[in-house]
């Protein structure tokens, strides 16, 4: 019966929020709450079911719900809104419980396998007993519909353990993102959790499975997120933050065929730029006492690295979501152009402004065309609007006028996001008034 509950629960709430658009946060939150309610009911009805009590899916649901809540206010969800950090911590507890059970089951399975290899009579007798028991199953199954349900238990392997371990690393990465946004909570416990509970177990599992690349990619994202949290909470200076993100991807980017690693590295470089920009808005931090001008050289360097990584990724057959890659290439050029704005005008950015705008226009146009071919509506709207914005900065407002006529509210949203992200200044907005 517990197996039946698990199957029914999983099928009754397919993971549609994972493919929802950004505007579906409220629907996603309601879905995840319903899924957790189902698990809770299952645990109450079948308290002795290990499959339910240590279900690895549960931690993923909690992590996803925390991410949805972290994205913004959800007053209209109709559900009680918990602290996303608490949900992340609860997810980690589920993952740890699942991992402990898996380690126990694997130890037992390996002990039985070794005993069987030695010709253990106990194992043979047990196997014979199971066989005899199975002989009566068809008769019982024919007796009622209830007996047609069965719990399918997949064997635990070293790969299973590594999956659970890496899931925790990904959850810790999400926690770091939340702590960075808050800018107040000490992320020290996150690093301590990783070092004390995960690191040695992960290294052993990676050695036994050979999944070095996946491990390196996952932990690189975690290292960058942890460094970002440290910098955002004023616990790391800019030099240490920079060293961390450079070191995180040193091994991965040596491989010229890994589009995912290149895109992840670009994300880390862009986040580095964004965090320095935010810190300057709050005031000088660490060694940056002279002025924000000292950061221009550093930010230009990392934005250029991000652009180079995205360009390299766009040329690889393994690249996914090319429209989004080209969109980010355009964003990189707009960010580099922003360094030429007053009062901290960076001379290279000032001199390169016409070229940077033309490059951005080309990248956005390419992204829009690819998105149209791939029927990626959100990317097509964003890319074509940004192309129109750049065209307006270059002196032609006609395209932006057409976009505004087609969907003024969405255009305003995209332009507003560009201002918030530092792609446009208030002076730019004055030039774009239609």
Q: Is the pLDDT of residue 360 over 80?
A: yes
Q: Is the pLDDT of residue 51 over 70?
A: no
Q: Is the pLDDT of residue 334 over 90?
A: yes
pLDDT per residue over 123-148, tens digit each?
Answer: 455 555 555 544 444 554 545 555 56
pLDDT of residue 9: 33
Per the listing, tokens 């925390």 go with 66
Nearest to 123 by CA among 136, 113, 135: 113
> Structure tokens of 179?
């702590």
Confidence bin at 77 (pLDDT 50/70/90):
very low
The contacts of residue 114 (CB under 8 Å, 6+ apart) are none
Q: How far, in Å, CA of 57 to CA of 274, rounded?
A: 34
pLDDT of residue 356: 98
Cα angle, residue 110 at apex, residues 107 and 116 outer, rounded to 5°: 140
Per the listing, tokens 């007796």 go with 143
Confidence bin at 69 (pLDDT 50/70/90):
low
pLDDT of residue 374: 94
More confident residue, 97 or 334: 334
pLDDT of residue 59: 59
pLDDT of residue 282: 75
> Any idea how long the chain is?
434
Can you state the angle between helices 347-373 and 322-338, rounded to 10 degrees?
160
Q: How far, in Å, CA of 241 to CA of 232, rounded?
A: 10
The contacts of residue 17 (CB under 8 Å, 6+ apart) are 24, 27, 28, 31, 32, 64, 68
pLDDT of residue 187: 94
Number of other CB atoms surrounding residue 128 within 10 Å: 10
Q: How far, in Å, CA of 23 to CA of 80, rounded?
A: 19
* DSSP codes joined into one string, 42-78: HHHH-TT-HHHHT-HHHHHHHHHHHHHHHTS--GGGS
Report the SS3 class of residue 346.
coil
Q: 177-208: buried (b, 16+ CB within 10 Å) or exposed (e) per residue?
A: bbbbeeeebebeebbebbeebbeebbeebbee
Asked if 27 and 65 count as a contact pair (C-beta separation under 8 A), the reply is: no
> Structure tokens of 42?
């299952």
Q: How far, in Å, CA of 229 to CA of 245, rounded?
A: 12
Q: 92-106: buried (b, 16+ CB within 10 Å) or exposed (e) per residue?
A: bebbbbbbebbeebb
Q: 143-156: buried (b, 16+ CB within 10 Å) or exposed (e) per residue?
A: eeeeeeeeeeeeeb
Q: What is the mean pLDDT of residues 187-206?
A: 96
Q: How far, in Å, CA of 57 to CA of 53, rounded?
A: 11
């Amino acid at each position: 019966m517990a197996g039946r509950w698990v199957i029914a629960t999983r099928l009754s709430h397919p993971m549609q929020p994972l493919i929802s658009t950004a505007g579906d946060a409220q629907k996603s939150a309601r879905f995840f709450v319903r899924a957790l309610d189902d698990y809770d009911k299952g645990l109450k009805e079948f308290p002795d079911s290990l499959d339910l009590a240590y279900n690895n899916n549960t931690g993923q649901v909690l992590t996803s719900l925390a991410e949805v809540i972290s994205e913004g206010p959800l007053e209209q969800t109709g559900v009680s809104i918990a602290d996303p950090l608490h949900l992340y911590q609860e997810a980690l507890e589920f993952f740890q419980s699942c991992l402990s059970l898996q380690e126990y089951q694997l130890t037992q399975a390996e002990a039985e396998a070794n005993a069987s290899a030695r010709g253990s009579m106990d194992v043979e007798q047990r196997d014979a007993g199971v066989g005899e028991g199975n002989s009566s199953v068809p008769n019982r199954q024919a007796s009622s519909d209830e007996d047609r349900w069965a719990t399918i238990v997949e064997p635990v392997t070293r790969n299973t353990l590594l999956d659970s371990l890496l899931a925790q690393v990904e959850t810790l990465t999400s926690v770091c993102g939340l702590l960075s946004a808050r800018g107040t909570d000490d992320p020290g416990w996150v690093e301590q959790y990783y070092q004390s509970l995960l690191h040695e177990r992960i290294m052993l599992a990676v050695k036994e499975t050979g999944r070095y690349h996946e491990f390196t990619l996952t932990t690189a994202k975690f290292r960058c997120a942890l460094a970002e949290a440290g910098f955002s909470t004023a616990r790391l200076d800019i030099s240490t933050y920079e060293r961390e993100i450079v070191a995180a991807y040193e091994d991965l980017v040596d491989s010229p065929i890994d589009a995912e690693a290149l895109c992840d590295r670009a994300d880390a470089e862009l986040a580095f730029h964004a965090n320095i920009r935010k810190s300057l808005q709050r005031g000088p931090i660490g060694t940056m006492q002279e002025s924000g001008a000292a950061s221009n050289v550093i930010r230009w360097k990392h934005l250029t690295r991000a652009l180079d990584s995205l360009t390299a990724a766009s040329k690889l057959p393994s690249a996914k979501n090319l429209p989004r890659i080209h969109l980010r290439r355009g964003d990189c050029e707009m960010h580099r152009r922003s360094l030429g704005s007053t009062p901290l005008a960076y001379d290279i950015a000032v001199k390169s402004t016409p070229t940077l705008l033309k490059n951005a226009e080309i990248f956005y146009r390419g992204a829009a065309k690819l998105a149209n071919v791939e029927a990626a509506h959100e990317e097509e709207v964003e890319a074509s609007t940004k192309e129109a914005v750049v065209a307006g900065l270059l002196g032609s407002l006609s395209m932006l006028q057409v976009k505004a006529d087609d969907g003024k509210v969405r255009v305003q949203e995209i332009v507003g996001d560009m201002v918030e992200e530092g792609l446009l200044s208030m002076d730019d907005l004055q030039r774009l008034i239609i």
